[in-house]
């Protein structure tokens, strides 16, 4: 069983990494393609499915690491008690963040697909699995906030390696996640879409999913590829810069769509991503 888990972990990790890079590339391809064309729709659907896989694999890995770290990383048992405690805390920190990012990516992709598929039937959103995924994303955000607050207040196991200020990251991201979940549930259970609101929501969700890809790359991928490690206050930059830029870009893009007079070409089929 241990050997199976070892190989399963390797396959899951590399499939996640490859999917992450494909998602980054496809995001920009979809953004560059003329909207409403078959190429845009086809690449958009591929991006959504990759995002669902990448988000799902991240959430599975993170939950596994947090709930049973010794089967996730059995080599921890070969370390001293002090070294194992340090790495265990680092695992909790990064994998709780990854759990939230994975759920946000997964849920955003599902939301983006469903809001387009059911653009003429807003009530249908409530009959999908979307509300369930939204709730689990909200729960992962609450868990993240609770973890950060406990560490900032010195509750539970003492901090053994990471600096105090770093624990602001899970609190900030978690609070944003809670706010986002409440907003999305209000949208799902609110009045009908009306006009092109479905389009704006679709774009917001796809941009949000793209932001999650770029944030994950900035935090986990960039340092490994470049060998550059940010320290001190700059350690917050990979967590803050991509969401900040993405939020502004999304706002401007959606405002541009709202100002445009004509409708985009109608999608070729209702299953488009």
What does the pLDDT average to over 116-127? 90
What does the pLDDT average to over 112-135? 92
**Does residue 267 lie within any of the structural domains?**
no
What does the pLDDT average to over 112-133? 92
Per the structure, the count of domains in the chain is 1
15 Cβ contact partners less than 8 Å away, ≥ 6 residues apart: 53, 57
193 Cβ contact partners less than 8 Å away, ≥ 6 residues apart: 115, 119, 122, 201
Higher pLDDT, 257 or 233: 257
**Does residue 114 lie within any of the structural domains?**
yes
What does the pLDDT average to over 4-27? 90
Burial class (CB in 10 A: 0-12, 13-18, 19+), 146: middle
Point out the least confidently predicted range of 3-12, 73-82, 131-140: 73-82
pLDDT at 145 > cutoff 50: yes
Mean pLDDT across the chain: 85
Q: Residue 234 — left, alpha, or beta (φ > 0 → left; ψ -120 to 50 → alpha)?
A: alpha
**Does residue 56 lie within any of the structural domains?**
yes
What does the pLDDT average to over 57-62? 94
**Does residue 204 lie within any of the structural domains?**
yes
Alpha carbons 189 and 126: distance in angstroms, whole number:
7
Higher pLDDT, 103 or 161: 103
pLDDT band, residue 158 (cuts 50/70/90): low
What does the pLDDT average to over 47-73? 93
**Does residue 206 lie within any of the structural domains?**
yes
pLDDT at 1 > cutoff 70: no
- pLDDT tens digits for 214-256? 988 888 777 777 777 766 667 778 878 888 899 899 999 998 8
pLDDT at 90 > cutoff 50: yes
Return the pLDDT at 239: 79
Alpha carbons 161 and 236: distance in angstroms, whole number:
16
pLDDT at 71 > cutoff 50: yes
pLDDT at 263 > cutoff 70: no
Point out the least confidently predicted range of 95-99, 131-135, 154-158: 154-158
**Does residue 271 lie within any of the structural domains?**
no
Return the pLDDT at 270: 44
Higher pLDDT, 79 or 43: 43
**Does residue 145 lie within any of the structural domains?**
yes
**Structural domain that includes position 74:** 2-259
Point out the least confidently predicted range of 8-17, 20-29, 104-113, 159-168: 159-168
Please state, for a pLDDT cut of 90, what percent of the chain lies above it: 49
**Does residue 64 lie within any of the structural domains?**
yes
């Amino acid at each position: 069983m241990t050997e199976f888990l070892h190989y399963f972990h390797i396959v899951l990790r590399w499939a996640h990494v490859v999917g992450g890079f494909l998602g980054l590339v496809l995001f920009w391809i979809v953004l560059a393609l003329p909207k409403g064309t078959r190429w845009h729709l086809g690449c958009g659907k591929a991006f959504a499915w990759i995002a669902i896989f990448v988000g799902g694999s991240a959430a599975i890995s993170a939950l596994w690491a947090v709930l049973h770290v010794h089967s996730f990383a059995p080599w921890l048992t070969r370390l001293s008690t002090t070294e194992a405690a340090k790495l265990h805390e680092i695992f909790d920190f990064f994998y709780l963040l990854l759990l939230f990012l994975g759920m946000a990516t997964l849920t955003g992709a599902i939301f983006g697909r469903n809001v387009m598929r059911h653009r003429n039937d807003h009530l249908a959103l409530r009959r999908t699995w979307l509300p369930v995924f939204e709730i689990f994303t909200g729960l992962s955000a609450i868990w993240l906030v609770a973890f950060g607050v406990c560490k900032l207040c010195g509750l539970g196991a003492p901090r053994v390696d990471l600096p105090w200020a770093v624990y602001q990251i899970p609190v900030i991201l978690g609070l944003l996640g809670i706010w986002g979940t409440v907003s999305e549930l209000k949208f799902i259970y609110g009045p009908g879409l009306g006009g092109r609101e479905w389009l704006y929501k679709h774009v917001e969700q796809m941009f949000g999913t793209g932001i999650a890809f770029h944030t994950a790359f900035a935090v986990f991928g960039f340092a490994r590829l470049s060998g550059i490690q940010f320290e001190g206050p700059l350690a917050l930059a990979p967590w803050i810069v991509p969401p900040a830029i993405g939020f502004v870009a999304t706002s401007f893009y959606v405002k541009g769509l709202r100002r445009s007079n004509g409708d985009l070409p109608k999608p070729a089929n209702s299953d488009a991503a």
